[in-house]
A and B are shown apart, each in its own frame.
Chain A
Amino acid sequence: MGSLMLVLLLLLIIGSIVWYTRNHKARQEEPPSMGGTDPALPPLISGKGVRSATPRPAFDGQIVVSGLTKRYNGVTAVDDLSFVVRPGRVTGFLGPNGAGKTTTLRMILGLAAPTAGTATIGGICYIDLPEPLRHVGGLLETSAAHRGRTGRNHLRIICQSVGIPLERADEVLELVGLTPAGRRTFKGYSLGMRQRLGIAAALIGDPRVLILDEPANGLDPDGIRWMRDLLKALAADGRTVLVSSHLLAEMQQLADDLVIIAAGRLVAQGTVDSVLDSMAHSARVLVRISDAEKLTAACGEDAVVVTRENGDLHITGMDATAVGEAAARAGVVVHQLVTERPDLEDVFLELTRGKATIR
């Protein structure tokens, strides 16, 4: 009886190994060839595995979100969201707390299933990417390591699980400046060190695309500058960098493009300049003038004129040309005429005003 059972068990083990191997081979042949444009990356699929005669377009690293929706019982965290993130640029993903940034990024990275809509990277859903870590690096607010494990071992495990040589762990540790802490356990790490470890993990596969959720959280000013330089360098290298944040001033210094959401919906999208320009109606004109009252009278009904303590006027609702012409009509001498562009913070508050933030 005992020997019969052992034979049974052996058959079971052999059977499952055969099944697993065949399954794996089949999967390796499935995905489209994405012959790398990046010479640093080896071809993803060895010659013999490729069956299709017409090569697919190369992996371009563009992120396309279309009609993405996520509903949790009652709450629509992300609501019919569509935007495109281009390679070679840093794209800031802005929104107040609870706007749905994290939820969107989790859906892009295949960690949460969308209620509706799709998110693709280089035209492919994250979970269908062959060797995803070699294409996309992700950092999420839930990214953590085992409390009792060293940061270095955390990275080595990731390398091991995707077949990247384990020495890569030391390289990315060095890159994020964590080498001295690499052999200490995660529970002793400060918030900033945890973020650095998360960024190191995202860089393991030398990815074309980086998706980072609030990476500046917990970093000191030095760390923030370091990260800004790193992300800019990565974008300049032709990579796609999507960074969510609520630190608006930081975004203005870092981002080339912006995607602004509030209450799960898109409110603005485009280059930083175009988003600021779209808010030009809220631009203020500052005038220093000989006779404030005459000019105030000369400005039309639409203009809002605020007199400051030193006698300068802040005018909104008219552009500088119109103010100059009004001054000429009124016969007053203009000493100074300046258009003050709104900064990102103003635009952001304006765009997201009145939207339920914490849901």
Chain B
Amino acid sequence: MTPLDSLVISAAPRTGFAPMQRVRAEIMKIRTTNTWWMFSIGIVLVTAEALLRNGVSHHYDLHPALAGLDPADKAQALATAARAHTHAGQAAIASNMMTSGQFLGVLFAMLIGVLVVTNEYSHQTATATYLANPRRGTVIVAKFIAAACFGALFWLVSTLIDVIVTPIYLHSQQLGVSLADWAVVRSVLLNLLAFIMWAIFGLGLGTLIRSQLGSVITGIAAYLLGTAAVAVIFELIYNAYHHTWVQGAIVIAPAVASLVMTTPGQAFDRAPPQWTGLIIMIGYTLLFGTIGVQLTRRRDI
């Protein structure tokens, strides 16, 4: 057999819709490395841990240990327990249980968004990727969609565990609230939104900061430390100017925006309305993504 005999086989025409194929290729890139199961295990662990912690904490809200408390504390504990037993209180507990794993799960979603881009550079696969699809904007768009899919998938894994454990827990605590309660469903959907938004936020960050370590550290800092730093800065500004909007403006920190976005009603004192959180998350993603696409187009591989 000459080397050429097997060369004339690729006559099969392009199958399917090109943008979708690029998205599927991006998903394959993650699925074919150990990132895949490492992150899955991570999601399972953080969800389990959060369920345990939330379950214990709600149990003590519902059934406070009153022995040894002084009268004032006792009264407060009883009031909390009474509130927890109302319909709204039960819905809040169910919502909280059903979104267990959000705090760290969302961090995983952001990290996978970062990896979807930065892996190309840290493993030098960018050459193969851009030879196959030299229009780099189309590749980045496919990566955005893939990152959103990963965010949604992580949410699904986390929510599946929650939906198994929560009814058992509610039953054990003799709470009659239904998981179909709109307050609960709304929390679960907002949780989905948070997973997706953080995944594409991570992707935008990755296009901006090509170094894997650089964008991972920046992302984690934005999520964990950023809030505290921004809170301090805004507190200082507030002390100087005493405009109440300053306290609300803290929402420009991504982590605060996410908190505002996922909390029905007031996330904290003077918190701006819920939709501002969403707008700010989308704003960051679009900003990073746009700058990132422009940079990616110009930069040499």
The interface of chain A, by Cβ under 8 A from chain B, is: 1-6, 8-9, 12, 20-21, 24, 27-28, 40-42, 106, 109-113, 126-127, 129, 131-134, 138, 140, 142-150, 153-154, 156-158, 160-165, 168, 171-172, 174-175, 201, 203-206, 229-230, 233-234, 237
Q: How far is the CA of A168 from the CA of B301 in the complex (A)?
A: 26
Contact B13 A158 (CB under 8 A): no
CB neighbors of A among B1-44 (8 A): 2-4, 6-16, 18-19, 21-22, 24-25, 28-29, 32-34
B173 near A: Cβ within 8 Å? no
Does A157 contact B32, Cβ atoms closer than 8 Å? yes
Closest to B34 in A: A148
Chain A residues with Cβ below 8 Å from B22 are 161
User: Could you tell me the distance between the alpha carbons of A206 and B188 in the complex, rounded to whole angstroms?
Assistant: 48
Inter-chain contact A230/B3, CB cutoff 8 Å:
yes
The answer to whether B193 touches A175 (Cβ under 8 A) is: no
Q: Can you list 23 A-B contacts (CB < 8 A)?
A: A1-B274, A2-B264, A5-B193, A9-B193, A12-B282, A20-B141, A28-B18, A111-B300, A127-B134, A142-B124, A144-B125, A145-B123, A146-B29, A150-B32, A153-B32, A160-B21, A161-B133, A163-B15, A175-B3, A206-B8, A229-B3, A233-B2, A234-B4
- B240 close to A (CB within 8 Å): no
- Nearest chain B CB to A108 CB, angstrom units: 11
CB distance B133 to A144 under 8 Å? no
A-contact 0/1 string along B198-226, CB 8 Å cutoff = 00000000000000000000000000000
A163 touches B10 (CB 8 A): no
Q: Is the CB of B29 within 8 A of A163?
A: no
Closest residue on chain B to residue A21 by CB atoms: B19
- Are B127 and A162 touching (Cβ within 8 A)? no
CA distance A2 to B182 in the complex (A): 10
Q: Are B275's CB and A8's CB within 8 A?
A: yes
Assess the B128–A154 pair: CB atoms within 8 A. yes
CB distance from B272 to the nearest CB of A (A): 12
Which residue of A20, A42, A133, A206 contacts B9 across the interface (Cβ within 8 Å)?
A206
A73–chain B nearest beta-carbon distance, Å? 13
Contacting pair A161 B132 (CB below 8 A): yes
C-alpha gap A257/B43 in the complex (Å): 58
Determine if A145 and B14 form an interchain contact, defined as CB atoms under 8 angstroms apart.
no
- Are B274's CB and A204's CB within 8 A? no
Q: A171 and B3: CB pair below 8 A?
A: no
CA distance A113 to B301 in the complex (A): 9
For A205, the chain B residues whose CB sits under 8 A away are 10
Is B290 engaged at the interface, CB distance under 8 Å to the other chain?
A: no
Contacts of A110 in B (CB 8 A): 130, 134
Report which of A8, A9, A134 forms a contact with B10, defined as CB distance below 8 A.
A134
User: Which residues from chain A contact B125 at a C-beta distance below 8 Å?
Assistant: 144-146, 154
Residue from A113, A156, A171 in contact with B28 in the complex, judged by beta carbons closer than 8 Å: A156
Q: Give the complex CA separation of A110 and B300 in angstroms.
A: 9
Q: Does B247 contact A (CB under 8 A)?
A: no
The one of B7, B138, B186 that contacts A203, using a Cβ cutoff of 8 Å? B7
Q: Are B123's CB and A157's CB within 8 A?
A: no
**Interface pair A165/B300, CB less than 8 Å apart:** no
Please tell me if the beta carbons of A162 and B32 are within 8 angstroms of each other in the complex.
no
- CB-based closest 10 A-B pairs: A161-B25, A163-B14, A144-B124, A112-B300, A127-B134, A206-B10, A153-B32, A160-B25, A111-B301, A2-B186
Contacting residues, chain A, for B6 (C-beta < 8 A): 171-172, 174-175
Q: Are B128 and A201 in contact (CB under 8 A)?
A: yes
B: which residues have CB within 8 A of A?
2-4, 6-16, 18-19, 21-22, 24-25, 28-29, 32-34, 119, 123-125, 127-135, 138, 141, 186, 189-190, 193, 261, 264, 273-275, 278, 282, 298, 300-301
Contact of B33 among A109, A131, A146, A174 (CB under 8 A): A146
Cβ-defined contact, A157 with B29, below 8 A: yes
A144 CB contact (under 8 Å) in B3, B9, B127, B186? B127
Q: Taking A2-B186, A153-B28, A168-B9 as contacts, is the C-beta distance between A142 and B21 under 8 angstroms?
A: no
Q: Is the CB of B25 within 8 A of A237?
A: no
Distance, CA A112 to CA B136, complexed state (A): 12
In the complex, chain A residues whose CB is within 8 Å of the CB of B275: 1, 4-5, 8
Residue of B nearest to A131 (CB): B14
CB of A207, distance to nearest CB on chain B (Å):
9
Collect the chain A residues with CB atoms within 8 Å of residue B135's CB. 27, 127
| B129, A168: Cβ atoms closer than 8 Å | no
* Assembled-state Cα–Cα distance A40/B13 (Å): 10
Least distance between B191 CB and chain A CB atoms (Å):
11
Minimum CB–CB distance from B240 to chain A (whole Å) comes to: 32
State A35–B135 Cα separation when bound (angstroms).
22
Residues of B within 8 A of A12 (CB): 282
A162 touches B13 (CB 8 A): no
**Are A160 and B18 closer than 8 Å at their CB atoms?**
no
Other-chain contact of B133, A8, A162, A237 (Cβ < 8 Å): A162
Q: Which of B127, B135, B261, B273 has the most CB of A within 10 A?
A: B127
Set of chain A residues within 8 Å of B21, measured between Cβ atoms: 160-163
With A and B bound together, what is the CA distance between A56 and B82 in angstroms?
80
Task: Give min CB distance, B7 to chain A, whole Å.
Answer: 6
CB of B134 within 8 A of CB of A132, answer yes
Bound form: Cα–Cα A24–B23 in Å: 14
Q: In the bound complex, what is the Cα–Cα distance between A156 and B193 (angstroms)?
A: 32
Q: Give Cα distance in the complex from A349 to B249, angstroms.
A: 69
Which of chain A's residues have a CB closer than 8 A to the CB of B123? 144-147
Question: Which chain B residue lies CB-closest to A201?
Answer: B128
The distance in angstroms between the C-alpha atoms of A172 and B14, with both chains bound, is 18
Contact B19 A163 (CB under 8 A): no
Assembly CA distance A124 to B4 (angstroms): 26
* Shortest CB distance A196–B (Å): 12
Q: How far is the CA of A147 from the CA of B212 in the complex (A)?
A: 15
Alpha-carbon distance between A146 and B29 when the two chains are bound, in angstroms: 9
Q: Which B residues are CB-close (under 8 A) to A160?
A: 21, 24-25, 28
Bound-state CA distance A322–B298 (Å) is: 60
